[in-house]
């Protein structure tokens, strides 16, 4: 259904350039690409997607840029989403409603992600259904956004996407906001309401999971099997509403409650119910952060915490259908330095850290039947630093580590350990999205990423075989 | 005749004094912020707003009544926008594009 919507909308807007591709969805179905054969046509089409359609500014979600008359670099470190600048956070907290006063029509945008993945060792049987064991080209995602103001004080970020690896169209991240301002104790108070479908997708700092580094990653490379619930485990599988406040540009508070979506609803939205954690219960989520800007806004620091708790049935038949009570408590921090706040192309340093501690308590009776321990813990830690040169070249590095209770009857790893750690090195190049860019209605991000595992699913000996290069091209075009 | 001349000169001097009493103050917009959070003006004073950033701004003045507002429009880098505060009261100045660009003005 969503693929049809995506196809119809895109074809209406730019039929001459891209209609032929989307009218033949079999061309996008996952399979190995022959770079020197007819698949060159698909790559050529991806390039065409980046050709200007109409005039106007653009960025990763170009409709935001159009609405505000701002270049991508005003909101995004490195001139491409999703890493936010102070203004990007302000824009989000104010409900995506800030604007230049002009009528730009519906805030629709299109992005594409295509990639090449090379793993150190081939993956027997293929990297995914229809792909070769190694050296795969893929159309990772085609995404259609409604992103911008709906009414005064009301805005939305809604993403429909087609996953070219999973061959699945789905409703992706949704964040609909109402924001208003007032005063409390003589100081400015910003408050708002968010309706969203992914805990932390509503968060304005990139130190929380939904918008954390890496901002894109290979869907064709192995990834560790253990992750915490707040780390994407509930993404697009719940729907929730929350209230947030920012007082005196100092204290941020948020409280949300989510409800798990049932299997028919998940299927209707393009999700596969059994692929991830399922819950039918209410899920409380809370967030607090202290922030400080100083040095004429050259420096920004944030330190915070977030937590959620849910009764879930782990996906992949991990517990043979028994429920597990998972509680995640997390700390996070952000620091940004802007060398010249008056220039959006000035050099910028960003650092993010997050630590999540999860406890998982199995339902009574489950340990006896599964042989698993009754309680488990899982810790995830990530720390990344990036430095953006002139909003054009942005090298980044991240260290990540996951560790937890070893239990061969709980984790589906070879030795029962969920432990993994490693580093990600990335360099991204973004030619446009700046005030003087020649192409004002489009942008692209070309990135090379190398993921190096020191340990993987409890094993040090075989960890390096999962190391991989990921070359990605990300384009954004406004309608 | 000398009396008439003296009266005319007095009126002229009064007018000049009145004109020179109104001041113009420049508010610098830089780094997505105004260089002051609040200020007090006398009726008739004027504010000049600069845009020292490399992106487009806007100046929108709300007040003194709850329904009164004047949108000075978009402000490209380097462009100067100006506004004369003719009424006493409390005003709020902000950029519609950048919510953090704001200041309070009290006119007496």
Residue A91 sits at φ, ψ, to 5 deg, of: -60, -45
Which residues does A416 contact at the CB level (< 8 Å), separation at least 6?
Answer: A406, A407, A408, A409, A410, A458
Task: Indicate the pairing of strand B102-107 with strand B69-75.
Answer: unpaired
Q: How many CB pairs under 8 A join A and B?
A: 63
Chain A residue with CA closest to B71: the answer is: A101
In this complex, do A99 and B97 lie within 8 Å of one another by their Cβ atoms?
yes
Residues 439..458 of A with a Cβ closer than 8 Å to B: which? none
The mean pLDDT values, 10 residues at a time, for chain A of 479 residues are: 40 35 33 36 38 36 86 94 94 95 90 97 95 97 94 96 94 97 94 98 97 96 96 95 97 98 94 88 97 94 98 84 94 97 96 98 89 96 98 98 96 93 98 87 94 97 96 90
CB A255 within 8 A of CB A241: no
Q: Which candidate from B33, B74, B99 shows the least CB-CB separation from A98? A: B99
Q: Rounded to the nearest 10 degrees, what angle do helices A2-22 and A40-49 cross at? A: 110
Evaluate whether the domain defined by B23-107 bears CATH number 2.60.40.420.
Answer: yes
**By CB neighbour count within 10 A (0-12 exposed, 13-18 middle, 19+ buried), where does A351 fall?**
middle
Cα→Cα distances A302→A206, A348, A351, A367, Å = 11, 16, 10, 41
Domain of A353, CATH number, reads 2.40.160.10
> Cα distance from A446 to chain B (closest Cα, Å)?
25
- What's the number of domains chain A is made of? 1
Quote the domain boundaries for residue A238: 2-478
CB B100 within 8 A of CB A89: no
Dihedral, A8, A150, A160, A209 alpha carbons, nearest 10: 170
The answer to ipTM > 0.90 is no
> Cα distance from B6 to chain A (closest Cα, Å)?
53
Task: Indicate the pairing of strand A282-294 with strand A251-260.
Answer: antiparallel
Distance of alpha carbon A152 from the chain centroid: 27
| pLDDT value of position B29 | 93
Q: How far apart are CA A42 and CA A213, in angstroms?
A: 28
| pLDDT value of position A123 | 96
R_g of chain A, CA atoms, integer Å: 22
Extended beta strands in chain B, E state: 24-27, 38-41, 46-49, 57-62, 69-75, 81-84, 89-94, 102-107
B71 touches chain A (CB under 8 A): yes
Which residues does A18 contact at the CB level (< 8 Å), separation at least 6?
Answer: A10, A11, A45, A48, A49
Q: What does each of the 108 residues of chain B score in pLDDT, given as a tens digit?
A: 567 777 777 666 665 555 556 799 999 999 989 999 999 999 999 999 999 999 999 999 999 988 899 999 999 999 999 999 999 999 999 999 999 899 999 999
Contacts of A435 in chain B (CB under 8 A): 54-55, 77
In degrees, to the nearest 5, what angle opens at C-alpha B28 toward C-alphas B23 and B30? 175
């Amino acid at each position: 259904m969503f693929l049809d919507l995506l196809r119809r909308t895109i074809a209406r807007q730019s039929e001459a350039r891209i209609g032929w591709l989307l009218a033949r969805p079999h061309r996008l179905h996952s399979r190995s690409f022959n770079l020197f054969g007819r698949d060159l046509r698909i790559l050529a089409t991806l390039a065409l997607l980046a050709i200007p359609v109409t005039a106007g500014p653009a960025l990763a979600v170009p409709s935001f840029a159009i609405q505000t008359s701002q270049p991508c670099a005003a909101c995004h470190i490195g001139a491409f989403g999703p890493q936010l600048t102070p203004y990007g956070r302000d824009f989000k907290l104010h409900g995506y409603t800030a604007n230049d006063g002009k009528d730009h029509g519906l805030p629709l945008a299109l992005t594409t992600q295509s990639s090449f993945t090379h793993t150190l060792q081939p993956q027997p049987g293929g990297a995914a259904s229809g792909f070769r064991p190694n050296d795969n080209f893929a159309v990772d995602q085609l995404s259609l956004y409604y992103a911008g103001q709906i009414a005064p004080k009301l805005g939305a970020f809604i993403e429909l996407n087609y996953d070219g690896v999973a061959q699945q169209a789905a409703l992706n991240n949704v964040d609909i906001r109402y924001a208003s301002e007032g005063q409390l104790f003589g100081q400015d108070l910003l408050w708002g309401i968010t309706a969203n479908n992914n805990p932390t997708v509503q968060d304005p700092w990139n130190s929380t999971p939904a918008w954390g580094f890496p901002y894109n990653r290979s869907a064709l490379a192995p990834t560790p099997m253990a992750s915490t619930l707040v780390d994407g485990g509930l993404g697009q599988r719940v729907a929730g509403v929350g209230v947030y406040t920012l007082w005196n540009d100092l204290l941020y508070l948020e409280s949300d409650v989510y409800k798990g979506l049932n299997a028919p609803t998940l299927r209707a939205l393009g999700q596969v119910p059994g692929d991830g954690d399922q819950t039918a219960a209410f899920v409380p989520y809370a967030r607090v952060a202290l922030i400080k800007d100083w040095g004429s806004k050259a420096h920004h620091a944030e330190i915070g915490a977030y937590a959620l708790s849910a009764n879930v049935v782990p996906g992949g038949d991990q517990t043979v259908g028994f429920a597990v009570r998972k509680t995640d408590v997390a700390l996070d921090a952000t620091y940004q330095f802007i060398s010249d706040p008056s220039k959006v192309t000035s050099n910028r340093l960003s650092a993010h850290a997050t630590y999540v501690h999860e406890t998982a308590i199995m339902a009574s009776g489950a340990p006896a039947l599964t042989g698993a321990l009754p309680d488990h813990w899982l810790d995830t830690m990530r720390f990344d630093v990036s430095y953006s040169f002139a909003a054009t070249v942005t090298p980044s590095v991240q260290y990540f580590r996951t560790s937890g209770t070893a239990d061969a009857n709980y984790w589906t790893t070879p030795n029962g350990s969920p432990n993994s750690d490693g580093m990600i090195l990335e360099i991204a190049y973004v030619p446009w999205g700046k005030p003087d860019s020649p192409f004002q209605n489009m942008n692209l991000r070309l990135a090379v990423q190398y993921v190096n595992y020191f340990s993987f699913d409890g094993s040090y000996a075989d960890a390096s075989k999962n190391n991989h290069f990921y070359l990605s091209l990300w384009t954004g075009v406004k309608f | 005749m000398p009396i008439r001349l003296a009266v005319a000169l007095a009126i002229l001097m009064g007018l000049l004094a009145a004109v020179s009493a109104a001041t113009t103050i420049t508010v610098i917009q830089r780094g997505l912020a105004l260089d002051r959070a609040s200020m007090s003006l006398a009726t008739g004073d004027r504010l000049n707003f600069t845009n020292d950033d490399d992106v487009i701004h806007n100046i929108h003045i709300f007040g003194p009544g709850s329904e009164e507002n004047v949108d000075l429009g978009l402000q490209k880098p380097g462009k100067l926008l100006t506004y004369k505060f003719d009424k006493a009261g409390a005003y709020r100045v902000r950029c519609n594009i950048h919510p953090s660009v704001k200041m309070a003005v009290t006119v007496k």
